[in-house]
Amino acid sequence: MSGTAGNPLRDPRDRRLPRVPDPCALVVFGVTGDLARKKLIPAVYDLGNRGLLPPGFVLLGFARRDWDVGEFEALAREAAQQHARTEFREDVWRRIADSLCFLPGAFDDDAAFDALAAKLIELEGTHGIKGNAAFYLSIPPNAFPVVLKQMARTRMADNNERGGWRRVVVEKPFGHDQKSARELNALVDEVFTPNDVFRIDHYLGKETVQNLLALRFANTLFEPIWNSHYVDSVQITMAEDVGIGGRAAFYDSAGAGRDVLQNHLLQLLALTAMEEPVSFDAEAIRTEKLKVLNAISLPRDMERGAIRGQYEQGWLAGQRVPGYLDEKDVPKSSLTETYASVRFGIETRRWAGVPFYLRTGKRLPRRVTEIAVVFTKAPHLPFDATDTVELGQNQLVVRVQPDEGVTLRFGSKVPGSAMEVRDVSMDFLYGASFTESSPEAYERLILDVLLGDQTLFPRNEEVDASWRVIDPLEEFWTGRPPEKYRAGEWGPRAADEMLEREGRVWRRP
Rounded Cα distance, 336 and 343, in Å: 20
CB-based contact 425:407 (threshold 8 Å): yes
CA dihedral 84, 86, 97, 156 (to 10 degrees): -60
CB 130 within 8 A of CB 450: no
Which is it for strands 405-413 and 306-312: parallel, antiparallel or unpaired?
A: unpaired
Q: Which of 291, 305, 371, 373 is nearest to 343 (CA)?
A: 305
The DSSP call for residue 390 is: B
* Residue 344: half-sphere exposure toward Cβ, Cα within 13 Å: 31
DSSP 88-150: P-HHHHHHHHTTEEEEE--TT-HHHHHHHHHHHHHHHHHT--TT-EEEEE-S-GGGHHHHHHH
Q: How many CB atoms lie within 10 A of CB 173?
A: 21
Beta-carbon neighbour count of residue 221 at 10 Å?
Answer: 11
**CA distance linking residue 323 with residue 328, whole number of Å:** 10
**407 CB neighbour count, 10 Å cutoff:** 17
**Residue 446 CB partners (closer than 8 Å, separation 6+):** 26, 40, 43, 44, 47
Phi, psi of 368 (to 5 degrees): -160, 140
Give the C-alpha separation, 105 to 77, whole Å.
22
Respond yes or no: is residue 264 known to be catalytic. yes
In 313-329, which positions are buried (b, 16+ CB within 10 angstroms) versus exposed (e)? ebebeeeebbbbeebee
The one catalytic residue among 127, 176, 202, 264: 264
d(CA 338, CA 313): 13
Bridge partners of residue 197, in order along the sequence: 168
**Residues 423 and 411 sit within 8 Å (Cβ to Cβ):** yes
CB 403 within 8 A of CB 367: no
Are 457 and 446 in contact by the 8 Å Cβ rule? The answer is no
d(CA 47, CA 183): 34
Per 3-state DSSP, the chain is made up of helix, strand and coil in percentages (nearest 5) of 40, 20, 40
Known catalytic residues are 264
